[in-house]
Amino acid sequence: MLSATGELAAYHVDVHAKIGRQFSEGVRVVRRLLRDHELAKRVIVHLGTNGPIDPHDCDRLVTLAGPHRRVFLVTIKVPRTWQDSNNAILGRCAAASDKVDLIRWYARSHGHGGWFVDDRYHLSDKGQRKYAHFIDRSIDEIVAG
């Protein structure tokens, strides 16, 4: 998400990304934004590429966001052992609440090697554009129902 900050800004998405962020740290970011009255009504979370997700952290994040916000969890594409288990956790977390939706980045990006640089998970310039457009379009489709 960090490398696509500029592309996401074109869709009015405010990014609070950081290199190497773990999901548990994302919970703290949501808590801080909530405390500072800066948490948006639509919260997009793309975490889990840097290590395993504790399912309780996903639940905590959703609970913190509260009943008046919509949370969008983005699946990950990373050539690491935790990819599939993290995506499963994200799916279960999304399924547990009608205020949480899953954006399937893994499924969309799979097979598009040109969207990534040599490490196969950081986005190329083209990938940044595709990612931002996909996030925006997915949210529009989900909200439209």
Q: Which burial class, exposed, middle or buried, applies to 136 when counting CB atoms under 10 A from its CB (0-12, 13-18, 19+)?
A: middle
Question: What is the homologous superfamily of the domain 2-144 according to CATH?
Answer: SGNH hydrolase (3.40.50.1110)
Q: Let me know: does 54 contact 23? Beta carbons within 8 Å.
A: yes
Q: What phi and psi, each to the nearest 5 degrees, are found at residue 101?
A: -125, 155
Write out the H or E segment, with its range, that includes residue 47.
none
Report the C-alpha gap between 113 and 63 in whole angstroms. 36
Report the C-alpha gap between 78 and 116 in whole angstroms. 10
Which residues lie below 8 Å from residue 115, measured CB to CB, with a gap of 6+?
A: 109, 123, 124, 126, 127, 130, 131
pLDDT (tens, 9 = 90+) of the chain, 145 residues, equals 889 999 999 999 999 999 999 999 999 999 999 999 999 999 999 999 999 999 999 999 999 999 999 999 999 999 999 999 999 999 999 999 999 999 999 999 999 999 999 999 999 999 999 999 999 999 999 999 8
